[in-house]
Amino acid sequence: MKKIIRVVGAVIEKNGLILCAQRGIDKSLGGFWEFPGGKIEEGETPQQALEREIKEELLCKVAIKNKIVTAKHEYDFGIVELTTFFCELLSGEPKLTEHESIKWLAVSELNSLEWAPADIPTIDLLVKGV
């Protein structure tokens, strides 16, 4: 049985655009696009993990809003269980610390990027207008 890796992702909206982050080339799934976030640590709620990860990865603060979806995807290294949340940027501008690049895109443009497979169910729901 493969290890289940519980992670969270932030769908950060600003001025009608969504923040998209490209994974570092040297990381697993390098070059794929994702919603920023990371692993849920022992004793954390998904929301606490997401606030911490955004502070660490993008050096900004977000307010966690509604849950979008929890999706599972099996990779060769394990099963990723990704829960995404709508988030509002409260302070700071996202800065690159771990990602290769970031883009702000309209929902209609999200499918133009090559997304990590675990993020695709969130993209599908956003495009459908969830």
Domain spans of the chain, in order of start: 4-128
pLDDT over 90 (residue 47): yes
Per-residue pLDDT, 28: 83
- Would you say 66 and 130 are in contact if contact means Cβ atoms under 8 Å apart? no
Model pTM?
A: 0.93
pLDDT, tens digit (0-9, with 9 covering 90-100), for 2-40: 899 999 999 999 999 999 999 988 888 889 999 999 999
What average pLDDT does this structure show over 85-89?
Answer: 95
DSSP annotation of 118 reads: G
Query: How far is it, in rounded angstroms, from Cα 63 to Cα 35?
Result: 15
The CATH superfamily label for domain 4-128 reads Nucleoside Triphosphate Pyrophosphohydrolase (3.90.79.10)
